[in-house]
């Protein structure tokens, strides 16, 4: 179900955002801000880029995605549900004791989740492991890893960046969600990871800067990355935390807060009304 029409992808991104809001609202818990900032990127990945099969989630030849910023699980779950890995209604069980949809992604509980994540800084290493294995076995799959701009303050990311370079992982594409906000404030205030592009460049990556909410730019960047040889690619996506919901946009306080009933209604309306 590859969608190529930009308008259609934009509409799909709205559906993905609705799923995020539903998930976080249902049990009044979760992280809407960063889930919304990567919603367009995730939509392009799950509906335009990834070679995956919802009927065979463990298909060996599939592309892999590691959501290293695991607290943005609502966006992953929403994409998987909308893609048909499980019922969209299930999103309402997010973070409930009865649910398989854990606060942070669990590969053993949710079909389509390729790696358990949540403790920030760890995902790039496992993505490297998948990419190395793919090269060893001459597989054609690609590995995508989504990092936060705050997450890259973790030292392990840079250990892993060296590894990706050493093993020339051109089957690896890293995306940094540069929404410029982390829990305690802006990236500059808390612990600047800038210049992100120069850092990854010096670690041996092909770097592409894009607007992380422009569907065409996102698609183009992934297409360029596929043709990069002998080195990994890092796409730095300038994004807006809380993107798509007026009162959440660019507000650090929406990092890990659920909307009230009133806010939920406004949010769903802004996304074009409930499903």
163 binds other proteins (CB under 8 A): yes
Given 57, 111, 129, 204, the residue binding other proteins (CB under 8 A): 129
Stretch that binds other proteins, among 35-43, 123-131, 253-261, 265-273 (CB under 8 A): 123-131
Q: What angle do CA 99, 104, 107 make, to 5 degrees?
A: 75
* Minimum CB–partner distance for residue 143 and other proteins (Å): 8
Beta partners for 186? 181
19, 74, 112, 134: which one binds other proteins (CB under 8 A): 134
CB of 156 to other proteins, least distance (A): 4
As a three-state string, the secondary structure of 48-99 is HHCCCCCCCCCCCCCCEEEECCHHHHHHHHHHHHHHCCCCHHHHHHCCCCCC
Q: Is there binding between residue 108 and other proteins (CB under 8 A)? A: yes
Of 124 and 267, nearer to other proteins (C-beta) is 124
Burial class (CB in 10 A: 0-12, 13-18, 19+), 53: middle
* 106 touches other proteins (CB under 8 A): yes
The alpha-helical segments, DSSP class H, found in 110-214 are: 123-136, 155-166, 187-191, 196-202
Q: Give the neighbor-by-neighbor strand order of the sheet with 206-211.
A: 64-67, 143-148, 172-178, 233-238, 206-211
Region from 26-34, 47-55, 107-115, 202-210 binding other proteins, contact rule CB under 8 A: 107-115
126 near other proteins, judged by CB under 8 A: yes
Rank residues 48 and 126 by Cβ distance to other proteins and give the closer one.
126
Residues with Cβ < 8 Å from 265, sequence gap 6 or more?
Answer: none
Using the minimum distance from each CB to other proteins, give the nearer residue, 23 or 143: 143
Would you tell me which residues interact with other proteins (CB under 8 A)? 60, 64, 66, 106-108, 114-116, 118-119, 121-134, 136-137, 139, 155-156, 159-160, 162-163, 166-167
């Amino acid at each position: 179900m590859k969608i190529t029409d930009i308008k259609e992808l934009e509409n799909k991104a709205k559906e993905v955002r609705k799923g995020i809001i539903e998930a976080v609202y249902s049990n009044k818990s979760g992280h809407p801000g960063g889930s919304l900032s990567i919603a367009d990127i995730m939509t392009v990945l799950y509906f335009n880029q990834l070679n995956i099969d919802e009927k065979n989630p463990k298909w060996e030849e599939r592309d892999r995605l590691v959501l290293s910023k695991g607290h943005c699980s609502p966006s992953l779950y929403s994409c998987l549900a909308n893609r048909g890995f499980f019922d969209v209604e299930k999103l309402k069980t997010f973070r409930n004791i009865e649910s398989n949809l854990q606060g942070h992604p669990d590969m053993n509980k949710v079909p389509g989740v390729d790696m358990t994540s949540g403790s920030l800084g760890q995902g790039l290493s496992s993505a490297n492991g998948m990419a190395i294995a793919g090269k060893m076995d001459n597989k054609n799959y690609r590995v995508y890893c989504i990092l936060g701009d705050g997450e890259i303050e973790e030292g392990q990311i840079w250990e892993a960046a060296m590894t990706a370079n050493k093993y020339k992982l051109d089957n690896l594409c890293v995306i940094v969600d540069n929404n410029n906000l982390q829990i305690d404030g802006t990236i500059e205030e808390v612990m600047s990871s800038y210049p992100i592009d120069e850092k990854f460049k010096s670690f041996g990556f092909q770097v592409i800067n894009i607007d992380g909410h422009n569907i065409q730019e996102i698609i183009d960047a992934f297409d360029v990355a596929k043709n990069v040889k002998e080195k990994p690619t890092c796409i730095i996506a300038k994004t807006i935390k809380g993107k798509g919901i007026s009162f959440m946009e660019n507000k650090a306080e929406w990092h890990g807060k659920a909307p009230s009933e009133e806010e939920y209604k406004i949010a769903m309306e802004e996304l074009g009304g409930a499903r």
